[in-house]
Amino acid sequence: MYAKHHRRAGTLILAVMTATIALTQGVKLLVGRDRPLWQSDLGLLDSRAFPSGHASQVTALAGLALVLVVMLVRRANIRQLIAAGLVAVVLLACADRILLGRHYWTDLAGGVLLGAGLVLLGVALYNPLPRSHAAKALPLPQAIPSTNDLAVILNPIKVEDVAQFQSIVNQMALDSGWKEPRWYFTTVEDSGTGQAEQASIDGADLVIVCGGDGTVREVCAELAGTGIPVGIVPAGTGNLLARNLDIPLFIRAAIDIAINGQDRAIDMVKATGDGIEDTHFMVMAGMGFDAAIMEGVNEEIKKKVGWLAYVLSALKALMFPTMKLEVSVDGGPFTKHRARTCVVGNVGSLQGGMNLIPNAAIDDGQLDVVLLYPRRFLSWIPLVVRVLSRREERAGESVARFTGRTVVVRASLEVPRQLDGDTIGPGKELHMECIHGRLLVRVPR
């Protein structure tokens, strides 16, 4: 938790577990109950029995884990599953102590009550939620006068409780000196473009967008070049832009950065191609295997298990057929290649911290192209190892890289295509141009 910048949660864990161990031993000394006479002969214990240290410590750990789950896990079904598992662990530990004859049932009950009580007391006395990352920072200079008008664009299906989310944002905004936000909700017909346009017309000094990568892309594309900064509260499955900007996935922390962070000018990419209107993307475009993954995701499974739906789709698409591609960088001559996937990145990291493009930067004015060509099914394993270990490729190996401001990719046949995880239909071409420093986004100070 300390490594993930949840220092208050880490402090709570240390304090509660230390108190549990100390108080358990103290009560044992006061009560002095002997162990049951029917103990198993294997490893007999002669220490004092009440309360059970196993029960108190396992219950405290399970209670703290549940606190973290409530804080950090967004999906209700996943929270319920983990909670059931934690209860099962406590019951299993208690059953173990009974079956081995180490404790009376009252020893276990006392331990469970002690552990649970200390968790509740700890949460009541010390709030584990993180404080503002800018609480002790100096105010940032303002280039232009601000009226502190705040707009929030929300994809309502991406948060569990819309009213609760609104309450959190409203309170955090008021506490930081902003006016009460104006709210704009996306629809099936308009996933962010119209809402962003209206927010700018209404005079917003800052626009916060909460949704998946598709919603974030639409809002960013509309506000690019306006000088209005965008605060990102990631609420999707991939959240690649937020990950590459070091914006935490914990909603309260992301809201705090959106409100109190500093502005950073980042690149965006103009994209055109056969069968699509002119559009933009912020993270990555792809042709081939990666786009086939996006096409193959089952939305019902995605709603239930999140990113695991992409893993299942990837397994089905592993042997996507080889593509014959031509690539031109910065208007140069086309070079011919064979690949199973072509990724053009404005950033470098994928889910799980996989750094596909180690040298990519979102504000360098450059696009990075990666072509992957595993020849056989088992060739994916050394290829992934090579990418993760950032080894230099030798001539003729299955990874090729290019860098430039403009990139054109042509395929000999129609192949799946995607922009920021959204499929745009099959086609043969993508033309991409990096527009340097086009958008202001809020990032941690």
pLDDT in tens, 287-332: 988 888 887 777 676 666 666 777 777 777 777 788 899 999 999 9
Under CATH, what is the fold of the domain 272-434? Tumour Suppressor Smad4 (2.60.200)
Whole-angstrom distance, CA of residue 234 vs CA of residue 359: 24
pLDDT at 409: 94
- CA angle, 343 then 346 then 347, to 5°: 90
Candidates 280, 307, 283; CA nearest to 293 is 307
Token pair 């995701």 is found at 297
Using pLDDT thresholds of 50, 70 and 90, give the confidence band for residue 148. confident
In the chain, which residues fall in CATH 3.40.50.10330?
150-260
Q: 7-125: which CATH number, 3.30.70.20, 3.40.30.10, 3.30.1330.60, 1.20.144.10? A: 1.20.144.10
Residue pair 50/23 in contact (Cβ under 8 Å)? The answer is no
> Which is higher by pLDDT, 442 or 72?
442
- Paired tokens of 73: 């896990």
User: 193 with 218: CB under 8 angstroms?
Assistant: yes
Residue 159 pLDDT greater than 50, yes or no? yes
Indicate the SS3 state at residue 414: strand
At 394 the pLDDT is 46
| CB 348, CB 333: distance < 8 Å | no
Give the C-alpha distances (Å, rounded to integers) separating 222 from 200, 215, 275, 372. 9, 11, 21, 32
Residue 372 reports pLDDT greater than 80: yes
User: Is residue 395 scored above 50 in pLDDT?
Assistant: no
**pTM higher than 0.85 for the full model?**
no
The span from the CA of 152 to the CA of 166, in Å, is: 9
CB 57 within 8 A of CB 115: yes
| Parts of the chain belonging to CATH 2.60.200.40 | 272-434
CA distance 149 to 425: 39
The amino acid at residue 238 is: G
Percent residues over pLDDT 70 in the chain: 87
pLDDT at 246: 85
Q: Which CATH superfamily is domain 150-260 in?
A: Probable inorganic polyphosphate/atp-NAD kinase; domain 1 (3.40.50.10330)
Out of 177-181, 277-281, 291-295, 396-400, pick the least confident: 396-400
Q: Classify burial at 411, counting beta carbons within 10 Å of its beta carbon; exposed 0-12, middle 13-18, buried 19 or more.
A: buried
Predicted local distance difference test score (pLDDT) of residue 306: 65
79 Cα distance to chain centroid: 16
Decide: 365 and 400 in contact? Cβ < 8 Å.
no
Return mean pLDDT, the chain: 85
d(CA 320, CA 53): 55
Would you place residue 380 in the very low, low, confident or very high pLDDT band (cuts 50, 70, 90)?
A: low
Whole-angstrom Cα distance, residue 249 to residue 230?
16
- 3 state DSSP class of 248: coil
- State residue 396's pLDDT score: 46
Helix, strand, coil percentages in the chain from 3-state DSSP, rounded to 5: 40, 25, 35
Among 27-41, 244-258, 341-355, 422-436, where is mean pLDDT lowest? 341-355
Amino acid (one-letter) located at 96: D
Cα 139–Cα 141–Cα 147 angle in degrees, nearest 5: 90
* Other Cβ atoms within 10 Å of 281 Cβ, number: 26
Which two three-digit tokens encode residue 392?
Answer: 């230099």
Dihedral over alpha carbons 92, 94, 100, 104 (to 10 degrees): -160
| Arithmetic mean of pLDDT, 191-205 | 93
Amino acid at 435: I
Higher pLDDT, 299 or 56: 56
Q: Residue 93: which region, alpha, beta or left (left: phi > 0; alpha: psi -120 to 50)?
A: alpha
